[in-house]
Amino acid sequence: MAYLNENYLKLQAGYLFPEIGRRVQEFCAANPEAAKRLIRCGIGDVTEPLPPAAVSAMKKAVDELSVRETFRGYGHEQGGNFLRSKIAQLDYRDRGMEIADDEIFVSDGSKSDCGFILDVLGDRNRIAITDPVYPVYVDTNVMAGHTGPADESGRYEGIIYLPCRAENGFVPEPPNEQADIVYLCFPNNPTGAVATRAQLEKWVAYAQAHHALLLYDAAYEGYISEPGIPRSIFEIPGATECAVEFRSFSKTGGFTGVRCGFTVMTKQLLLQTSDGRELPLHRLWHRRWSTKTNSVSYPVQRGAEALYSPEGRQQVRGLIDYYMGNARILSAAAARAGLGVYGGKNAPYIWVRTPAGLTSWQMFDRMLHDLNVVITPGSGFGSEGEGYFRISAFNSRANAEEVARRLEAASFS
Ligand code: MLT
């Protein structure tokens, strides 16, 4: 008899986005006319074509592979040095953060890394997670057996939940209890909130005092426009000894389909063994990659490298500005519709209060059926997300403007 991983049986319903997809598909099948005017502002998936610099680099890489003289097989399991050195130099060292090339680990995206990281972390850690939250952090811990069952509100036994509410600007304070691992995401998905330097300093101080590890998801750092807001946890002194950072090319270079991201793990980061020794996590993470993967395809890594060229950087800037233009249009429309609006300033997500009396899923249905617009119900991100919904700004300008018109024309009273 072969046994399955029963931890999976503790998971709530389906993963949020496939579940939304299922409901939308059902709606479209039953309402073919309305389906024609459907606009998707649910999952944060990019709509605009890849930056030309990445396209030509990927084509050139394929050409290299097509002739004997320049053909390559396996690359470094941790990613090509050509890409790791660009990342370390341009994203970190040029901005005053001492990150070495071999502290960059290239992957197929930060979603994967957020799950993979559990391979090198122990099972007895107390996990703290913000609420609402990107569901991957919670679900991967459930799958790994780090939690008990969920209660009626969907909260899992054993997890420390850190409420993110309008009253705390959606940025939680460190808890008054021991957490060993804390997941933080700024700019935040789903709320669009950013953490100030002072707030991140508090988190680093907490990690130092509690020998905790911060898992910092900075997938949306490129969207920060406000001066003084840190774009990396490593801008905070001491973070190299207590944090791991995840980054992605999905929302900068439009790589949601191409797939590429990276993790920054410094060699100063030490974690404990059960017999009290302190060892670099880097050694385990390096070993994990050597054993389990052969990194990301060569053309994709060359495409990612091209995003760091002068043209690539300009084209990425253009994409971010485009989506943030949508965010402004959508935020303004939701506000004019009389709804409470948050986020959307340093992030491509707008976090909106549902009209009085409507739950998040009721608002999802209302938007789908009456406005033919797909949004993400806030409660899908955690119990503190109840009473909110998320509008993604990843869309064409024409669609963003049309959603804005429909929102303003709707009556939510
Ligand atoms: C989202 O919509 O929250 C994101 O697109 C999901 C992801 O990046 O995996």
Per-residue model confidence as pLDDT tens for the chain (413 residues): 999 999 999 998 666 888 899 899 999 999 999 999 999 999 999 999 999 999 999 999 999 999 999 999 999 999 999 999 999 999 999 999 999 999 999 999 999 999 999 999 999 999 999 999 999 999 999 999 999 999 988 899 999 999 999 999 999 999 999 999 999 999 999 999 999 999 999 999 999 999 999 999 999 999 999 999 999 999 999 999 999 999 999 999 999 999 999 999 999 999 999 999 999 999 999 999 999 999 999 999 999 999 999 999 999 999 999 999 999 999 999 999 999 999 999 999 999 999 998 999 999 999 999 999 999 999 999 999 999 999 999 999 999 999 999 999 997 86
CA of 41 to the centre of ligand 1 (A): 11
Q: Are 228 and 201 in contact (CB under 8 A)?
A: no
3-state secondary structure of 363: helix
3-state secondary structure of 303: helix
CA of 190 to the centre of ligand 1 (A): 9
Residue 341 contacts by C-beta under 8 Å, 6 or more apart in sequence? 331, 334, 335, 350, 351, 352, 353
Alpha-carbon radius of gyration of the chain: 21
| Domains annotated on the chain, with CATH | 13-49+312-410 (3.90.1150.10), 54-309 (3.40.640.10)
CA of 45 to the centre of ligand 1 (A): 7
**Tokens at 246, concatenated:** 């995840």
CA of 256 to the centre of ligand 1 (A): 9
User: Which of 41, 45, 112, when mutated, tests ligand 1's pocket best, judged by the most ligand atoms within 8 Å of its CB?
Assistant: 45
Q: What is the pTM of this model?
A: 0.97
Provide residues with CB under 6 Å of ligand 1: 43-45, 111, 134, 189
